[in-house]
Amino acid sequence: MAATLYRDAALADGRSPSLRIGVSILVRDGRIAWIRPSDAEEDPGDAVVIDAGGSTVVPGMVDAHSHVTLPGGSHWIQRGLDPPEALLRAAEENGRLLTGAGVRWARDVGSPLGVDPVDGRQRALCLGVRDRWRGRSDRPYIRAAGTWVTRAGTLEPGLAAEADDADALLAHALHQVHDGADLVKLYLDGPDPQTAPWSAAEVRRVVEACHARGVRVTAHATRFDGSRVCAEAGVDAIEHGFEIDADTAHLMREGGIAMVSTLAVIRSWQSFATTTRIERFTSPEGRARVAAREESALASVRTCLVAEVAIAAGTDFGGGSPHANAIAWEVEALVDAGLEPWQALGAATWRGGELLGEPEAGVIREGGPADFLLVHGDPLSDPRALWRVWHVAWTH
Ligand SMILES: [Zn+2]
């Protein structure tokens, strides 16, 4: 099989603030045969040579909070109730967008329930998509949570698995595992904004049962009380975490609980102030509310950073309003929150891989898969370089 030599690129792997320059990488049979200084290459044999001068190699990215079967946009909530055929079409479009944006792995944290028109199974729709994309270089690898497990009355009726009590919460979570979910997603904001919908003991029971089956549990929490419950219950990660105080961040650090940021969703709401007629985004009160939300979310990321909580980058595309090619938006926002650009790149690469328990995800190493891309510019001084995807190596 043909080999490809990427000659004289820069390299940023999200683990240090320094950009390596003058790097050549030989890919053979889809794997990285060697990485050498460009002035000390080994004989590349009959490799096709790609002049990569002026571009930067980065690891295939990991979108740690995604909804692969949903299209996003300002009507994202309504789109969740589209028929399965439409959602599977959206997934194929998302798969193309993700690949073009340099996303190799997507962690899907909730898809609508339905009868999959391809395999006929009644379950969370992303599970069939994951299975069918396996082994395809033009689609990302998916790890999927099944559907959202939530308190009845929280999400749109018919969308998710709704529990009235703690026994049902556990049963629904285990049902997702039975259906083939790779992880379990608890939607932990309740219909009553004043109180967390479940106690830490109730959530811990779900965590223990899932861990006993080798499955991780993550939880959507956007308020102080919810993130506190998550941290006390020992979930594996907190999604969004728009409100996390220093005590909770400390508990997260102690318990090895990751924080998955989704700041791009707030940025997209801000864009709707001028692109839509939706009152809660366009009105002065709406804009002020979103601005306050952003301030709190950025502060939470900073609190986690100071507490040395592992931070992984997610876009919430589909289940929130961004589209599937917005991972660079999240990296930019993390830098605005206070991460160094290399840390933000790490959040969008190997940190997501650790969250998935996938050692090859977001990592570039000799002998590993050729899951890297080349962007124009230096993402360690300007995170916007990640928008400028020039070449996605694993599709060639
Ligand atoms: Zn989400």
Distance of CA 261 to the CA centre of its chain: 8
Residue 303 CA to residue 306 CA, distance in Å, equals 5
pLDDT in tens, 285-343: 999 999 999 999 999 999 999 999 999 999 999 999 999 999 999 999 999 999 999 99
The torsion of the CA quartet 293, 243, 81, 93, rounded to 10 degrees, works out to: 80
Residue 301: both structure tokens together: 């990321």
pLDDT at 158 over 80: yes
- pLDDT, residue 2, reads 86
Residue 220: both structure tokens together: 């959507």
pLDDT at 1 over 80: no
Beta-strand relationship, 141-144 and 103-108 = parallel
Distance 2 CA to ligand 1 centre (A): 40
Distance 395 CA to ligand 1 centre (A): 27
- pLDDT, residue 7, reads 98
Query: Using CB atoms within 10 A of its CB, is residue 239 exposed (0-12), middle (13-18) or buried (19+)?
Result: buried
Query: Using CB atoms within 10 A of its CB, is residue 51 exposed (0-12), middle (13-18) or buried (19+)?
Result: exposed
Beta-strand relationship, 55-59 and 372-376 = antiparallel
Distance 65 CA to ligand 1 centre (A): 6
The neighbour count for residue 213, using CB atoms within 10 Å, is: 11
pLDDT in tens, 126-148: 999 999 999 999 999 999 999 99
Residue 111 CA to residue 89 CA, distance in Å, equals 14
Considering just the CA atoms, what is the radius of gyration of the chain in Å? Answer: 21
Distance 297 CA to ligand 1 centre (A): 15
- pLDDT, residue 192, reads 81
Burial pattern 340-360, b for ≥16 Cβ within 10 A else e, equals ebbbbbbbbbbbbbbbbebeb
Distance 240 CA to ligand 1 centre (A): 8
Mean pLDDT across the chain = 97
Distance 156 CA to ligand 1 centre (A): 14
pLDDT in tens, 68-103: 999 999 999 999 999 999 999 999 999 999 999 999
- pLDDT, residue 191, reads 78
Residue 275: both structure tokens together: 């692109």
Residue 126: both structure tokens together: 């992303």
Beta-strand relationship, 113-115 and 122-124 = antiparallel
- pLDDT, residue 302, reads 98
Distance 285 CA to ligand 1 centre (A): 24
Distance 340 CA to ligand 1 centre (A): 25
φ, ψ of residue 72 in degrees (nearest 5):
80, -165
pLDDT in tens, 169-184: 999 999 999 999 999 9
pLDDT in tens, 184-219: 999 988 778 777 889 999 999 999 999 999 999 999
Ion ligand 1 residue ranges (Cβ < 5 Å):
316, 319
Q: Please count the residues of the chain.
A: 396
> Quick one: average pLDDT of 245-265?
98
- pLDDT, residue 380, reads 98
Question: Partners of 108 in the beta sheet?
Answer: 66, 144
Q: How confident is the model at residue 47 (pLDDT cuts 50, 70, 90)?
A: very high
* In contact, 260 and 312? CB cutoff 8 Å: yes
The neighbour count for residue 390, using CB atoms within 10 Å, is: 14
| Closest CA relative to residue 48, chosen from 13, 2, 96 | 2
Residue 285: both structure tokens together: 């009160």
SS3 per-residue string spanning 242-291: CCCCHHHHHHHHHHCCEEEECHHHHHHHHHHHHHCCCHHHHCHHHHHHHH
pLDDT at 9 over 90: yes
> Quick one: average pLDDT of 45-59?
97
Q: Whose structure tokens read 């939706």?
A: 278
Q: What residue type is assigned to position 157 of the chain?
A: P
Q: What angle do CA 16, 216, 298 make, to 5 degrees?
A: 50
Q: How confident is the model at residue 389 (pLDDT cuts 50, 70, 90)?
A: very high
Distance 253 CA to ligand 1 centre (A): 23
If phi over 0 gives left and psi between -120 and 50 gives alpha, with beta otherwise, what is residue 280?
alpha
| Closest CA relative to residue 94, chosen from 327, 260, 256 | 327
Residue 73: both structure tokens together: 């946009």
